[in-house]
Structure 1
Amino acid sequence: MVDFNQTIDRLGTDAEKYELRQALFGTDKVLPMWVADQDLATPDFIVQALQKRLTHPILGYTLMSDCLSQAIIDWQAQYHYAVQASEIVYTHNVANGFHLAVQAFTEPGDAVLVQTPVYPPFLKAAPSNQRKTVTAPLQWQDGNYHIDFEALESVIVEQQVKLLLFCHPQNPSGRVWQKSELLKLAELCLKHQIWVVSDEIHADMTFAPHQHVPMASLSPEIAQNTITLSSPGKTFNLGGLQTGYAVIANSKLRRRYIQACQAVSILEPNLMANIAMEAAYTPKGKTYRDELVAFLQSNIQRVTEFFQQHYPQVGVVQPQASFLIWLDFSALFSEQTALKSWLINEAGLGLNDGETFGKNGTGFMRMNIAVSPNQLQQALSQLETAKSTLPDYQS
C-alpha cells in the first residue's frame, strides 16, 4: 500500500507551486492549491529507476527506446486503444504538444476552437502562434458541463474553424466525456474537415463507474483525424521532467507534426523523462494509479462534505476524473476581485482564478486536492475560520 499521509516540505526545491506565490497572490503566506502539480511523493519505483540510470556516468543525447514505445502501447491498450510504435512522437509536455499542433496543422489567421471553461493554455495557443481563438462555451446542466452541438456547429461554420483543441477529460471540471458524445463530436469534425487535438493527460485518474474512451479509439477514420496528446506527468507527479508524447495515426499529419518539432529544435527526448515514463507505464504503475485514485476520491469526499456543512451556497462540481475541484462561489460573491481577495487575505489560500478559464469561469475557482490529509485539513480549517469575515455572516 502507498502511504499518501506524508506532508512533504517543498521549500528550497524551486517548486513553481510555492515559488510563484508572491507573484501570483501578492503574498507567500498562502497555502498553494492552484497549479495541477501534486504535493504527493513521486512513486518510489520511478525514483529508483532514475537513480539506477544515474549510476552510469554519461548523460548524453538519447532516443526514444523500443522499450518505452512498447510501454506506451501496453498502457494505452487498457483503454482499448491500439497504438503502433511508428505513431508515437515525443514532445516535452502536452501544452508544448498542442502549440506544435497549432503550428503544424493551421496557417496564420486560421481559427482554432476551444470549449470554455478550459485549461488556460488552450486559450493562448492560437494567439501565441498568430492564429485566432474561437470559443464555444460548454452548457451547464444538471450539475455539470455538456456540449451544445447545435451552437458548436454554428460557430464552426461561421468562423471557418480549422482545428479543435479538445480537453478530455475536461479541465477544470473533471468531466469525463461519454462515448456517444465523443462520436457525435468526432463526426461533426469529420463533416467540417477539422483536425482534432485531444489532450488526454488526466485520463488515467478516471473514477468508476466512468470510463475513459480515447478519441482516436472510436474508429480508424476518426483516428486518422485525431492527434492524441498524453503523459504520465499528472498521474505520477513528473511535471518537472517534461514527459509527454503524441500519437498520430495519420502519416501525413505525423510528418507535419515532426517538421514542426524540428523547426523549434525538439529533436531528441529528455533522457530522464524517458526513464520515468518507462517506469510509470508498468504493472507497478497501474497498482499505484489505482491506489492514488482511491485516495483522491477520499479527499474529494472530504471537500464536498465540508462545503455542504459550512458553505452550502458554494457549488462543488463533482469531478469524474483527476485531482482538481471546480468551485462555484457566485452565490457568495458578485465580483471576482472580491472573491480572490477573500480567499487570499482571509482564507489564506492560493487557488486558480476561474476567469482565466474563460468568461464563463467568472464566479468559480479551481482547487487542487492532491495533497496530504493534513494539508487538506489545514486548507479546510482556514476556510472555516474565514467564514466569519463574510459580510452577511451569522454565527
Structure 2
Amino acid sequence: MTVNFNHSISRLGTQAEKYESRQAVFGRDDVLPMWVADMDLPTPPFIIEALKQRLNHPILGYTQMPDSMFQAIVDWQSQHGYSIQAEQILLTHNVANGLFLAVQAFTRPGDAVLIQPPIYPPFYQAAQLNDRQLALAPLVLVQNQYQIDFVEFERQIKSQSVRLFLLCNPHNPAGRVWSGSELRQMAEICLKHDVIMVSDEIHSDLVYDGYHHTPLASISEEVAQRTVTLSSPGKTFNLAGLQIGYAIIANPTLREAFAQTLARAKIDDLNLFGMIALEAAYSSEGRVWRRDLMTHFQTNIECLQLFLAEHFPQVKLIRPQASYLVWLDFRGLFSDHQVLKNWLINEAKLGLNDGESYGEMGSGFMRMNIAAPKSTLEQAFRQLVQAKSGLKTL
C-alpha cells in the first residue's frame, strides 16, 4: 500500500468544518485553516473500499453490530498491552460524547470533576454544561514539557471532594505521553479518595518513536475496576465525520451505570458506515497505514521546528510525543494574547486553535494541526514570513 501524503486535496464544497466555518470563527474566510483536529489527508483507501463494497447493496437499513467488530477492538487494544473482553465495550458517538456521558453517569449536579489544564475544551464543557463543579489541577511547564504537580492534584481532590477525574492520555493540546509511573501515581491518589477515572485515549495510536502509550486501565486490576477508557479510530484514520466512539469498562457496576445513561439518550449502536469503517481500520492494513502516517507527521514536525528556529526563534514548539497537534508558545514574541490572535488572523492569515480556549494557562499559546501535505506547511511558512516584516518586536 503506497499513499502519497503530500498530494493536496481540496475540501471545499464538502461542508468540511475546518473550511466552511472560517468566517464564523476567524471573522474572515481567507485564512489557511490549521485548526480542527481532522486531517487534510486521505482517509485510507482500504476503508473507502470497504464502504464502497457495502454501497453495492441498495438497502441501508437498521443494522446490528457484528461480533467481529467488537473483536477488532479487542485485538487492536492488545497492541498497547491492554487485555479486554468484548462484553466490556459500549458504543458512543465519539470520544467527546463519551466524556459527557461519563459525567452524567457517575456524578450528580453540584459534584466536582477534576481536569488538568491546559486541556481540550470539551473537558470543561462536560462538567459545566451538566451543572458540575470544576476542580483544576494545572499542569506545570518544565523545560518545554508539561509535568504533573501531584501535591496540587491531591489537594484539589481533597478540598473539593472530587468524584470524577477526566484524564487526557496522551494529552491534548500538548501531545504529552504520560509514563506508567505518572499514571500509577495519579491512579493511586484517585483510588485513595474513591475517585472514578475516565481516560480519553483517542490519540493513543499516534505516539512517536521513543515513547510508549500506557492505557490507564492496564496499570493494575484495581485501577481497571475504577477506570473508563474512551477511544476511537477517528483521529488515526481520519473518520471524524462518521461519529465513531467506544468506552471500555471492566467494572460491571460502572458499566451498567454508563449503559443506563446511554439508554436514556437512546444511543444504541454506531451507524452502518461507522461500523464498517471501524472494523476496516482495526485490521492488519490499518497497522501498516499508521506506521507510514507517523513517518509523515514526524517529517512535518521537524520542518516546523527548523522553520521556527530560523525565522521565529522566540516561538517555542512544545514538541509532541504523540498526535499531529502542535502546541506553540508565542509568549516570547507577544505579551498580549489578543494582539497575537489579531496578528495570526489578519497579518499571517492563519487559522489556528486559540490557546485560551484550553483555559487561562493557554494565554500566549496556539494549537496548530500539521496533519496536512507538505505544501500546506510551506504555505503557512510563507505567510508567517511575510507577516513578520510588520512586527516591530522582531
- Deviation track 1:88-121 (CA, whole Å, cap 9, x = no partner) reads 0010000000100000000110001100000011
Give the match for residue 313 of structure 2.
312
Looking at structure 1, the residues matched to 59 and 105 of structure 2 have their Cα atoms a distance apart, in angstroms, of: 34
- The Cα shift of 1:391 comes to 2.0
- Aligned residues: CA RMSD: 0.7
Using the size of structure 1 for normalisation, the TM-score is 0.99
- The Cα shift of 1:270 comes to 1.1
Give the 5 Å matches for 1:34-73: 34-73=35-74
Give the match for residue 17 of structure 2.
16
Give the match for residue 97 of structure 1.
98
- Deviation track 1:184-214 (CA, whole Å, cap 9, x = no partner) reads 1111110010011000001101001100010
Which residue type is aligned with residue 242 of structure 2? L
| Residues 333, 393 of structure 2: 8 Å contact kept | no
Give the match for residue 246 of structure 1.
247
Give the 5 Å matches for 1:273-312: 273-312=274-313
| Residues 64, 90 of structure 1: 8 Å contact kept | no
- Deviation track 1:206-248 (CA, whole Å, cap 9, x = no partner) reads 0011000100111111101000000000000000000110000
- The Cα shift of 1:155 comes to 0.7
Give the 5 Å matches for 1:140-159: 140-159=141-160
State which drifts further: 262-271 or 112-121. Answer: 262-271
Give the match for residue 209 of structure 1.
210
- The Cα shift of 1:145 comes to 0.4
Looking at structure 1, the residues matched to 135 and 18 of structure 2 have their Cα atoms a distance apart, in angstroms, of: 30
How much identity, in percent, do the aligned residues show?
56
Give the 5 Å matches for 1:102-251: 102-251=103-252
Which residue type is aligned with residue 275 of structure 1? I
Looking at structure 1, the residues matched to 337 and 325 of structure 2 have their Cα atoms a distance apart, in angstroms, of: 20
- The Cα shift of 1:332 comes to 1.1
Looking at structure 2, the residues matched to 232 and 305 of structure 1 have their Cα atoms a distance apart, in angstroms, of: 31
Which residue type is aligned with residue 26 of structure 1? G
| Residues 109, 130 of structure 1: 8 Å contact kept | yes
Is 1:343 matched with 2:344?
yes
Secondary structure at the aligned position of 2:212 is classed as coil
Looking at structure 2, the residues matched to 267 and 391 of structure 1 have their Cα atoms a distance apart, in angstroms, of: 57
Looking at structure 1, the residues matched to 122 and 338 of structure 2 have their Cα atoms a distance apart, in angstroms, of: 22
| Residues 138, 147 of structure 1: 8 Å contact kept | yes
Moved over 6 A (4+): none
Return 5+ residue gaps in structure 2 as ranges: none
| Residues 62, 269 of structure 1: 8 Å contact kept | no
| Residues 99, 125 of structure 1: 8 Å contact kept | yes
Return 5+ residue gaps in structure 1 as ranges: none
- The Cα shift of 1:389 comes to 1.0
Give the match for residue 324 of structure 1.
325
Looking at structure 1, the residues matched to 325 and 383 of structure 2 have their Cα atoms a distance apart, in angstroms, of: 19
- The Cα shift of 1:390 comes to 0.7
Which residue type is aligned with residue 154 of structure 1? R
Which residue type is aligned with residue 166 of structure 2? L
- The Cα shift of 1:63 comes to 2.5
Looking at structure 1, the residues matched to 130 and 63 of structure 2 have their Cα atoms a distance apart, in angstroms, of: 29
- The Cα shift of 1:55 comes to 1.2
Using the size of structure 2 for normalisation, the TM-score is 0.99
Aligned length: 393
- Deviation track 1:52-103 (CA, whole Å, cap 9, x = no partner) reads 1111122122232101011001100011100100000010000000100000
